Every structure is written in C-alpha cells, then in structure tokens.
Chains A and B, each alone.
Chain A
Amino acid sequence: MLNVSHLTKKYHRFTANDNLSFIVNDGEIAVLAGPNGAGKSTAIKCIAGLLRFDGEIEIDGHNNKSIEAKKILGYVPEIPAPFELLTVWEHMEFIARAYKLTDWQKKAEELITRMELQDKLNKLGKELSKGMQQKISICCALLTNPQTVLFDEPFVGLDPHAIKELKSMLFEMKAKGTTIIISTHMLDSVDEFWDRVFIMMNGRIEAERERKTVEKSGENLEELFFSITEKNKD
C-alpha cells in the first residue's frame, strides 16, 4: 500500500506539488493524470525517493527513503537511462546483484522475452533505440518483483507489441496484489485497467475518482478529465 500524506514540493518560489494526500491500496492501479506541467512526474519522483519534499510518503508502512522501502519499490523513469557500456543481460545481472536477488535468471529471461529483447542480449545500452531503452527500464524495475511500482509515462516510445505486453503485465501484477501508480496524459492507454484516478492541475489534485463511481455516472476517463481540467481553466 502507498500512503502519500501532505506531499509538498517547491522549487524556489514555484510549487510543483501542493499538499498532495492520497492512498493507493494493494492490488490497485492508480493513474496520475493531468496536463503538461501539472506536477505528475514530480510527484512520482518524490515517491521514488529521488527528490527532497515536505510531507510523508510510506510504502507498505516504511518511509519511502528507507532501505526497506527501496527493496520493495520499482520505478520506471520517464526518460530511460540505461548504462551505456553494459549489455542488456548485464543490466539484469546488475539489478539482481544490487538488490541481492536469488534465482533471478528465469524471471529475467521471461521479462526479456516478453519485451522482445532476446536477440539484443549482448547489445550495449548505448546501441539501443529509445524504445528498447524504455523496455530495459521496465525489465529492470520489474525484475525485483516489487510490491509497489511507479511508472512515469511508460507507454511513450514503446511499439504496439510491447504496449500489449506491458498492459498484460500490469493485469498480472494487479492480480498478485501489487500497488501500481502510472503517471500519464495518454488516457486511452490506461482506460481498460485503471482503478483509481487522481486528476492533477497546477500541482494539486483537483479530483479523485474510483472506476466504479465514474462508470456508474456513465462517464469515461477522458470525459471526466476534460470536464475537470477545462472547468478549472475557465
């Protein structure tokens, strides 16, 4: 479970995240949606423990900067950053060693096959296209079987097959009880599996909805998004 409480992130006088509080339960897929500059990526980076912030973030009851939290957290960054001089397989090995994983090879092979990287095992990070680098990021984040996973614009740069595979991985993780947060403004890409949505604008959460509530009202995610963001613009 992810518990974000009064998260505020300021860059000098600019407030990127303004007092965000929300909870994402085990087995839930939450979407952080919002226009460009709404503060989605900043929030994700704060949760991943990459930025300084005010407030509290707990991952399964552990402070997000603690070693215990890091052990159960997976993070797929917005911009993939593979190691230029490591091969695809060595990325897997590095993560396995850094996280002290045992019997990781089978899982690594499975991820690599699903992301269609099996013929690129000996390719260096610098030799891969942006899309393939994104696939490595996903494999690295999921190799550790994390309890909570943060995806920052995960579908950008992926080919249709990889998008399909990633979606089915999300369903599988959800079924296993993994807490998942996806930051995106491509609403149609998450339309089929979201459970909870936080619509952000100007660093604040303007609306929080559950799938059941939205479906009951006859709305869809896109209509909800525009009704909130357009209203606030006016």
Chain B
Amino acid sequence: MNAILYMLRKNVKNAVIDTLKSPLKMIVYLFIGASLVYAVIQGFTMNRSVDEQLDPRILYGAYLALLHFISVPIMLKGLSTGSSFFAMSDVNNIFVAPISEKKILTYGIGRQLATSLFLVVCFSAYGSMAIRMFELSIADALMLVGGIALMLIIVQLITLLLFCLCSAHPRLSVYLKFVIYLLPVYALGSVTIFMFSSSMTLENLYAAISQHYLEYSPVIGWLHGFVFGLLYGNTMKAVIYGVLLLICCALSILIFCLTKLDYYEDVLQKAESYYEFRDNIRNGKVSDSDWLGSKPVKLRKQGIRRGSGASSIFFKHLREGARRSRFMFFNINTIVLLGVTGVIGMAMKSFFNSPYRISVIYIAATVICSYIQFFFSAAGDWVKELNKPYIFLIPDSPVRKLIMAGATSIIKPFIDGAISFVFLWMLVGGHIPDIIVCMLVYGSFGCIYISSNILAQRIVGISGNRGVFITFYMGIMVVLMIPGIVIGLLALSNVSGYFTIISASVLGFPVFLWNIFISFMIFMLCKNLLNNIE
C-alpha cells in the first residue's frame, strides 16, 4: 500500500507542477475557477423577489433527474468489469506488483471517486443558481450539493458491490444491467403514466415530477428522499431513507470483504480499450472505435460508389454513416430531439395556444434544441477525419476538402430540425413560416458549431491543448452567435400586423441568415486548416 500511496502523492505533485509550467493551461483553469466563484457569490448575494421564484416542485424533479444522470452511467460502468477504475499504467505496473487484489481495487475505486468528486465543485455553481431560482437558504443549497457528493460516494460503493458480484458470476451482469436500466425507466414511466392519466397541463407536469412514489426507487430515490426530508424538515422521512442507504452501503462493504476476487483478466482488456479511448479524448481525437467498441457492424451495401477528389470524402462519410445506423441521419440524437420538442410542446401548449402566442413555443423549442445540439456536434465526421493523415494528403483544394468533410455534419442538423419541428407542428399546430424558419435556424446553428470548431482548431491548432481549445471554441461560438440574435431581436421589436403572429419567423430569419453568412465566411477564412495536421 505504501507503493500506491507514494505513486498517488507523486502523481498529484507532478500534475500540479505540470500545470504551473503551462501558463495557458493555468489561465484557463483560473478562468474556470473564477467563473465558478463568481457564480457562487452572485447566487449567495443576489436577491430575487418572491414573484420571480420558480415552483419548488421543479427543483424536486430536476434534482431527481440529476441524480439519475450522475449515478446510472457510473453503475453501468461498474458492471463492465471496472473498466474505468484503472489506467493502462496501473495494469502494467501495479497488477504485477506484490499488492493484494483488494487493496488494488480499493485504490482504483478511490481514484475514480476523487475524479467524480470534482463534479461536486462544478455543481456548486448550480447550488447558487438554485438559491436564486427557488426559495432556498445557503444551508439548503449546501445540503443539495452535499447530497450529490454523498450520491457519488454511495454509487461507488454500489459499483464495488456490482463489480464483486459480476466478477464471481459473469452472467449476472446481464440481469443487473436490466435492474439498473429499470431505475430511470421507473421514474420516467411514473411521470408518463401520471401525465396520460390526467390532462396535459403544466400544473400536472409539476405534480407528476414531484410524486412521492419516485423516492421508492432504490438508492437514487432513497437519497433523494433523504436530502428532501432534511431540506423540508421531514425528519421521519430523512431517517427512513438514511437507514436504507446505510444498510445498502454496509452490505456492499461486507460482500466486498467476503468475495474472493479474480478480476485481473477482465480488467486488462477493458483497460486497454479504455486507455485508448481516454487517450483519444485527451488528444481531442474521436474515432468510431470509441463508441462502437467490439459491437459487430453490419456491412450492408458495399463500396463508396461515387465521388472524385474531395467529394469522395463526403461519399465515404455516407457509407460510414449507413454502417453506424441503418437510417443514417435518423439516430439517437433525432430521438432525443423528438422527445425534447414533444415535452416542450405538451408542457407549453395549454399556456400558449392562442394564434398570437403559439410562436413562443417554437422560439422556446428552437432555443432549447439548438442548445442540446451543441453536445451532439462534438463528434462530427469531419473531426474524425482530422485524426487521420489522408485528408491532408489528398490532392485537392483545401477549401473543397473542408466543405466535403463537414458536409454530413452540416446536413444532419437540417434533417433533425425538419423532423423535430414537423413533429412539434403535429402536436401544437402553428404557422407554416414559423415551422420552416425554426427548422432553418436549428440547422444553421449546426453550421455555427462547426465553424466555431474550425476557427478554434485554426487558432489553437489541431493538436493543441484540449482545455484551451474548448475555452476558445465556446468563446468563439458565443461571439459568432450574438450579432444574429441581436439583429433578430431588433427586427422583432419593430414589427406589426401579421408579423406579430409569426414572431418566431421574425426573430429567427435574421438569425438564420447571419449564421449561414458567418459560417461560410469562416469556412473561407480557415481554408488553410488542412495545410497541416498541427
């Protein structure tokens, strides 16, 4: 164990020295830290009138969703034989050292826990936001953030339990995975059933997400019950759920101590692929292997069949896309967007159902969907292309190569936008110009994300520091978006007559035009990006 402690100590020390040696990295960390501190201070000091505060049931539902969002992926990872616990250097050096398996596993999980607890620091900004939006005291906010920290600790213990169980009985992992999936399904199912058994109003949605049944689901629900019991002074509720959590943790530790572990072989293969994956992420590389893993891929049609010079990159992407998903452009992102537009439509329908106000639903849906699209846009085909030398070697004009490499990433948001806004129209009705403009605006934000990414790659360099790159990327994105939105708002403030009914179109059309214009300009300005791989 001394060796492990020595290694941990040295790792921390060297990481700090490495950061100090890199001024740019240091500036980015300080900037992020300062932003967090500012957000926290602002939350604690800013007063908000009672009228402006949101319904506390939103906090109830959002907190439960957040707990699911944090815990379920960690537990699922635990089932995949502890792939995230160990780095490749651990496997190569510590596994062969004369240290007991249990100590090594404890080290792996402890390290993972330390990483996870960093999340808590980020959530402190949300704590201050909660103070502003709901009627909360500083102690309440700390309790919510502390609840997340507690969740992370408990979930690591559960992961330990799952890992021990699956290590001894590999077939059990299939059933346990099913049980883990049941947790969010139970929560979503309860909300959906409630909504369908009552009328689709905002009030009923609030009631649905704050049902006490939701707290019955093991661990996640219990922790939610424990925190909200403390928050609202319901001691009995807090004690019951607290005891349940204690039993769960004690059982996990007991089973861990009693199980004879033999996990090296399982971990080795997973650690190798996870090492490659993390290495790719660290270097800003995205490859199909990262998400495909060992999943078999059906070849279906073969051959690229079309294209010459730079355009062959586009047709290659189409072939690759067809292998990732049978429906190519219709994938999980499209389903998520359909779900989001569906929820927005249903929730806002009763409030904004007059012909004069229906545009508001379209504006809200466009804003939220465009925000979500940002997370989908990180792994576009063109980003993957930059990881291989071929795009740089192909004898064709750099700007043609850049446009062809980005073509599928440009087309996809327009298709997603078309599907989602037609679906929204089927749910809530609306004006044809609004639907068309919202589709176009959503698609044009895809262009903004790609062009911001290209510009950031041009400034920081393809192989530059990822933290610096992301900061630049987000900064550029905001700067590029603002003029379009300002022009749109100016247009909206000067309309009358029929145009007041189609406010989404009036606001959105200038945004669309600006987004397309500025994206095109950046493509042209950055045409030399493919001149070298740096």
Contact = CB atoms under 8 A, between A and B. Distances in A.
Interface stretch (B187-195, B347-355, B485-493, B526-534): B526-534
Given A67-B397, A87-B299, A100-B309, A94 B316 contact: yes
B394 A98 contact: yes
Given A65-B531, A70-B394, A93-B304, A83 B309 contact: no
Given A90-B303, A90-B304, A85 B288 contact: yes
B392 A67 contact: no
B395 A71 contact: yes
B313 A98 contact: yes
Contacts of A107: none
Contacts of A98: 307, 309-310, 312-313, 390, 394, 396
B387 interface: yes
Contacts of B531: 49, 52, 65
Top 8 A-B pairs, shortest CB-CB distance: A97-B312, A70-B395, A84-B288, A85-B320, A71-B395, A50-B533, A81-B388, A98-B394
A132 to B, nearest CB: 15
A140 B312 CA distance: 15
A211 interface: no
A167 interface: no
A164 interface: no
Given A49-B392, A77-B389, A122-B302, 15 more contacts: A48-B389, A48-B392, A71-B395, A73-B393, A81-B387, A81-B388, A84-B287, A84-B288, A86-B320, A89-B302, A94-B304, A94-B312, A94-B390, A98-B307, A98-B309
Interface in A175-233: none
Contacts of B387: 81
Contact of A126 (B289, B304, B388, B396): B289
Interface in A12-62: 45, 48-52
B320 A83 contact: yes
Interface residues of A, number: 33
B532 to A, nearest CB: 5
Most B CB atoms within 10 A — which of A71, A75, A87, A98?
Answer: A98
B323 interface: yes
Contacts of A75: 389, 393
B393 A49 contact: yes
A53 B307 CA distance: 32
Contacts of A70: 393-395
B5 interface: no
B395 A99 contact: yes
Contacts of A85: 288, 292, 297, 319-320, 323-324
A84 B295 CA distance: 12
A83 B388 contact: yes
A90 B308 contact: no
Contacts of B287: 84
23 contacts: A49-B532, A50-B389, A50-B533, A50-B534, A51-B534, A52-B532, A68-B395, A70-B395, A75-B389, A83-B316, A83-B388, A84-B287, A85-B324, A86-B316, A90-B302, A90-B303, A90-B316, A94-B304, A94-B312, A98-B390, A124-B299, A126-B289, A140-B390
B302 to A, nearest CB: 6
A20 B305 CA distance: 43
Contacts of A89: 302-303
A89 B302 CA distance: 9
A116 to B, nearest CB: 21
Interface in A69-127: 70-71, 73, 75, 77, 81, 83-87, 89-90, 93-95, 97-100, 122, 124, 126
Interface of B: 287-289, 292, 297, 299, 302-304, 307-310, 312-313, 315-316, 319-320, 323-324, 387-390, 392-397, 531-534
Nearest to B461: A52
B10 to A, nearest CB: 24
A90 B318 CA distance: 13
B498 to A, nearest CB: 49
A115 B388 CA distance: 22
Contacts of B315: 97
B324 A50 contact: no
A52 B534 contact: yes
Interface in A110-161: 122, 124, 126, 140
Nearest to B310: A98
A49 B371 CA distance: 37
A140 B534 CA distance: 23
Contacts of B309: 97-98, 100
A91 B344 CA distance: 44
A50 B395 CA distance: 13
Most A CB atoms within 10 A — which of B289, B393, B533?
Answer: B393
A140 B390 CA distance: 10
A67 B531 CA distance: 11
Nearest to A121: B302
Contact of A86 (B308, B310, B319): B319
A123 to B, nearest CB: 9
Contacts of B292: 84-85, 126
Most B CB atoms within 10 A — which of A73, A97, A126?
Answer: A97
A73 B389 CA distance: 13
A100 B311 CA distance: 11
A51 B299 contact: no
A45 B533 contact: yes
Contacts of A124: 297, 299, 323
Contact of A48 (B304, B310, B393): B393
A86 B287 CA distance: 13
A124 B288 CA distance: 11
A80 to B, nearest CB: 10
Given A81-B389, A124-B299, A67 B533 contact: no
B395 A67 contact: yes
Nearest to B322: A85
Contacts of B302: 87, 89-90, 122
A122 B299 contact: yes
A173 B47 CA distance: 78
Contacts of B310: 98
Contact of A84 (B289, B393, B533): B289
